[in-house]
Amino acid sequence: MARTKIKIKRIDNITARQVTFSKRRRGLLKKAEELAVLCDADVALIIFSATGKLFEYASSSMPEMLGRYKLQSDKSRDEVDKPALNLQLVENDDVRLSKEINDKNHELRQLSGQDLQGLTIDELEKLENLLQGGLDRVIKTKDEKISNEIFNLQMKGAKLMEENKLLKEQMTMLSNGKKPRSMRATDAGNLTSNPEDQGQSSESVTTNVCSCNSGPPPEDDGSITSLKLG
């Protein structure tokens, strides 16, 4: 005959409740002992009855096992609380950064002349001094840049004037039939760099000189004598 499944609920009858507690307590203690022996596990079992009476079982020292339990429990609690703590720190950082951003935006609006109604006279004077200091720095930087531009333009102008002066001297020398110094130096460099041309030029000069010295062929003596007689 199959056993009837007992519905798990509080037993109202006190006597039946005590009998059931006694039977199941012994069975639970026996199961704990069997688990420790069969599986070589450290098992600790603590039971308090309805009247507050203590029943316990430990496969080894109960205080030692309770110490291990407390250590593991605290470690597990720290691991569980750590992500929550990190999340809280991140949320705090987000709140702080949001507040700083809002404050900076408010300061920028005040620097641009907005949201000035709630400021006191001292705060307005402080804002005025801040703007004046920034304006002075802007003007100083602008003046330095303008001075640098003027200096660069003056240097370029002086360079152009020098080049113009050299060009005028070269034009004057060309108009007087003289070669400018730059061209003479160029010709000298060309002559030095091409010795074959230089040798050829020397030979041509020598040939021309000889031809000039030779002159036309002299007349024969007979013609000179006839002129004298005549």
Residue type, 223: S
* % of the chain beyond a pLDDT of 90: 29
The answer to whether 59 touches 89, Cβ cutoff 8 Å, is no
The arithmetic mean of pLDDT across residues 194-201, rounded, is 43
3-state per-residue secondary structure call for the chain: CCCCCCCCCCCCCHHHHHHHHHHHHHHHHHHHHHHHHHHCCCCEEEEECCCCCEEEEECCCHHHHHHHHHHHHHHHHHHHHHHHHHHHHHHHHHHHHHHHHHHHHHHHHHHCCCCCCCCCHHHHHHHHHHHHHHHHHHHHHHHHHHHHHHHHHHHHHHHHHHHHHHHHHHHHHHHCCCCCHHHHHHHHHHHHHCHHHHHHHHHHHHHHHHHHHHCCCCCCHHHHHHHHHC
The arithmetic mean of pLDDT across residues 11-18, rounded, is 89
The pLDDT mean for the chain works out to: 76
User: What are the tens digits of pLDDT across the range 54-88?
Assistant: 999 999 888 898 888 888 887 777 665 566 656 67
The arithmetic mean of pLDDT across residues 188-197, rounded, is 43
Q: Which region holds residue 177: left if phi is over 0, alpha if psi is between -120 and 50, else beta? A: left
The answer to whether 40 touches 59, Cβ cutoff 8 Å, is no
Q: Which residue has the higher pLDDT, 77 or 207?
A: 77
- pLDDT band, very low/low/confident/very high, at 196 (cuts 50, 70, 90): very low
User: What are the tens digits of pLDDT across the range 114-134?
Assistant: 877 777 888 888 888 888 888
Tokens 């609690």 belong to which residue?
77
The span from the CA of 189 to the CA of 183, in Å, is 10
The answer to whether 45 touches 29, Cβ cutoff 8 Å, is yes
**pLDDT of 193 strictly over 50:** no
pLDDT (0 to 100) of residue 180: 55
Tokens 């096992």 belong to which residue?
65
pLDDT (0 to 100) of residue 195: 41
User: What are the tens digits of pLDDT across the range 138-192?
Assistant: 999 999 999 999 999 999 999 999 999 999 998 988 888 766 554 444 444 444 4
Question: What tokens does 36 get?
Answer: 């420790």
Q: Which residue has the higher pLDDT, 31 or 89?
A: 31
The span from the CA of 161 to the CA of 175, in Å, is 21
**pLDDT of 27 strictly over 90:** yes
pLDDT (0 to 100) of residue 110: 77
- Give me the phi and psi of 44, to 5 degrees please: -130, 135
The answer to whether 89 touches 60, Cβ cutoff 8 Å, is no
pTM of the model: 0.34
**pLDDT of 229 strictly over 90:** no
**pLDDT of 210 strictly over 70:** no
